[in-house]
Amino acid sequence: MRAKMSSTPSSRWIEPLLADAMLNVDRVAVVEQRLRQGAREEDALVDAGAIDEGELLRWLARRYQTRFVATSKLARIDVDRALLELIPRKVAEQYQVFPVLYQPSTQTLSVVAADPSQPNLDRILQQSSHAVEVKLYVARPAAVRAAISKHYAGDLYAFANADTQGKEQYLNLLSLYDKNTVDPDLQGSVFPIDRGSGRPQQGGHAGPNGRSVTPPPGQHNFNERNELSLSVRLPAAITAAPSQATAAARTSLLEMTTVLVSLLENSRGELRGHSAMVARLLRKLAERMRLDDETFHDLSLAALLHDVGKAATYHLTALNVAVFESHRQVAQKVYLTPIKLFDAVPLGPTTISALSNMYERVDGRGFPEALLGKDIPLGARILSVVDTYADLTHNARNPYRRILSPTEACDVLDQHRDAVFDKNLVDLLRQTVTGDDLRARLLSERTTVLLIEPDPEESTVLELRLLEDGFEVMVARTVDEAMAALARGSVEVCIAETELDAMSGFDLLARLRAGSLSASVPWVFLTRDARREAIAKGYELGASDYVLKPASAEVLVAKLRQLLSKRNSRQPRAVAGSLAEIGFPDVVQVLSQGRKTGILSLHSANAQGEVHLLEGAVIHAVWGSSQGDDAFYRMVTLQDGEFSLDASVRPSHRSIHANVEMLLLEGLRRFDEASARG
């Protein structure tokens, strides 16, 4: 029995599919709802379960008289950067297309499109890429959007929702994990990757724009299902031991694992994104401890994998397992599950030891071996601390049944130091997350550089080098992020690409120069646009320099130092922060010890005030209607609010003569007396 269609925003494919008896008619109402919410029809059909993606794509391929590419294949192909440059990002986004193959011998470019029937699409892409021939294939719109986001914008999570085949498989795995069982015969990569017989070819061929294009491995052919066959390039980290893997291969493995874990955690509610957060925290501690690159990589991998296979009613952090017997019993059954699941992947010994020992306790009462103190591997001790901290600060279902502030979470960890957690690691974490970085910024004399660069790879390399050379670096991927950073007022130099998202780098500079917002900030263009008119335009708009990519970091650093040396004087920067991160007494003490001069402004929900400093001494204070000593005493116990330091002002009015230590002690004494009186 055929369902009758109601009025929907689109029914281009639904009626023909119904006529061909290919749809699950019981799901048509759900499809209509998705369409009303703005979904593309192809995506609505698959997401609603009205038709299998493979069946839909085969049907569309016959309609378009072409071939198709499944989302699972598109999610896993490795695309050479030069291949992406054949189709500019703006063209890809406007026409919803993505390049997948280039054959140098015939100068033929293969492109997947959400709608291959767009008028003159092949000619448009020919003109854009300068290819002799363009072949169009069909894919789901969601898959094409995800491919553009992943490869052009660097979004590693782009396929998390589009890859329905992979997502279904991962959720099925989770169902298996819930039963605390692991299939001993589970072999191969966790991703259902077609390894193929081809390897990445060495060298490359000149593309139509003169750049080298390395053809993807495998053959460009079609299988019996009318599907474009694309071999998938496996990262070297999958086939080589971690000790032999290159830095690039390690990065590839971490990226792949991040995507996998994001899919696994999609249904975890308040714990969604938890493992990625744990990995970020762990890396911060590892950086502070200056761990070597291999250890850094192996521990990052452990942080991403630590919860895989442990999906259950309980969140099995080291604290929960130590406090609740029910958690301990479950953890004893599943603590080795991540290692067993990834048995086919050559995990390093540091990763394995961190995962297998994260429930040990420093007092020797943990498991599996009841190790004591530093007998517990360092990676396991770090993982137990950061996993618990992330749970306390982002999961409302933690033992305290509310999200704790960073200070509160560190206090909880502190209560269990020398029992569950390594006290030194607890102290290091507290310094990292509760204001130590802010203290450094308050005393810092480093030049702040804003790097406006959409490409994550290029910006990361340059950011690291600038940091090594003593610069403070802020990175903006979009125009909005750049405007927000400039609005904060701490930027001293801008390095910008000309090709940005919402507007060009030229337009952004013109907008800033026309207004008062950072109008005098020195500006350096770093771009591949070598056109004479572009270079001339950059200098006409007031750019201090125009540097062509690829430029070595050493050259750029030298240019920045030369640029800064020409300035007559450095304008002191404003520094802002939250009193929840660093308390008022600490802020004042840090500024006093650093012999800072300027006006410290404070804003809370109830009032606002100022503290005037002259070479580290507090000389005047204002809080609401109060001034002098009394105003300062009223600010001593502030715990909430924002502060900012303007070091460009040299205050002169003096109403306070006591030193900072006496002021703080007197303020705390008065607070204690007031509390005692009730």
Residue 433's pLDDT is 76
Least confident of 58-67, 158-167, 336-345, 421-430: 158-167
Where would I find the beta strands (DSSP E) of 195-320? Answer: 205-206, 212-213, 221-222, 228-229
Instruction: Report d(CA 157, CA 260) in Å as an integer.
Output: 9
Q: Pairing between strand 212-213 and 205-206? A: antiparallel
Band (pLDDT 50/70/90 cuts) for residue 345 is: low
Residue 498's pLDDT is 87
SS3 of 545, please?
A: strand
Residue 245's pLDDT is 42
Least confident of 58-72, 423-437, 643-657: 423-437
Residue 460's pLDDT is 62
SS3 of 548, please?
A: strand
Q: What is the pLDDT of residues 154-203, one digit of tens each?
A: 766 677 666 555 444 444 444 443 443 333 332 222 222 232 322 223 34
Q: Pairing between strand 108-113 and 133-138? A: parallel
**pLDDT at position 396 over 90:** no
For 152, 271, 501, the CA distances from 498, given in Å and listed in that order, are 16, 39, 10
For 223, 470, 472, 493, 495, the CA distances from 559, given in Å and listed in that order, are 55, 14, 16, 12, 11
173 vs 71, residue with greater confidence: 71
- Of 520, 33, 454, the C-alpha closest to 10 is 33
Instruction: Report d(CA 294, CA 9) in Å as an integer.
Output: 53
> Which pair of structure tokens corresponds to residue 624?
């609401």
The structural domains of the chain, ordered by start, are 71-229 (no CATH), 246-434 (1.10.3210.10), 443-565 (3.40.50.2300), 574-676 (no CATH)
Which residue type does 486 have?
L
Band (pLDDT 50/70/90 cuts) for residue 502 is: confident
Residue carrying the six token digits 């279904």: 168
| Contact criterion met (CB below 8 Å) for 270 and 370 | no
Residue 499's pLDDT is 87
**pLDDT at position 137 over 90:** yes
137 vs 672, residue with greater confidence: 137
Instruction: Report d(CA 391, CA 133) in Å as an integer.
Output: 54
Kindly report the CA angle at 19 between 15 and 22, in degrees rounded to 5? 95
Band (pLDDT 50/70/90 cuts) for residue 1 is: very low
**Beta partners for 599?**
612, 646
**pLDDT at position 438 over 70:** no
- Predicted TM-score of the model (pTM): 0.39
Q: What is the pLDDT of residues 541-558, one digit of tens each?
A: 888 888 888 877 778 888
Provide φ and ψ at 267, rounded to 5°. -100, 15
Instruction: Report d(CA 192, CA 208) in Å as an integer.
Output: 34
Residue 461's pLDDT is 64
Residue 162's pLDDT is 65
**Mean pLDDT for the stretch of residues 511-530:** 78
Band (pLDDT 50/70/90 cuts) for residue 230 is: low
| Contact criterion met (CB below 8 Å) for 605 and 639 | no
Q: What is the pLDDT of residues 240-283, one digit of tens each?
A: 333 444 566 667 677 777 777 766 766 666 777 788 888 888 98
Q: What is the pLDDT of residues 365-380, one digit of tens each?
A: 999 999 998 899 999 9
Instruction: Report d(CA 186, CA 209) in Å as an integer.
Output: 45
DSSP 577: E
Question: Which residues, 6 or more positions from 562, have their beta carbon under 8 angstroms from its beta carbon?
Answer: none
460 vs 412, residue with greater confidence: 412
**Mean pLDDT for the stretch of residues 508-513:** 84
Instruction: Report d(CA 523, CA 559) in Å as an integer.
Output: 12
Kindly report the CA angle at 589 between 653 and 569, in degrees rounded to 5? 60
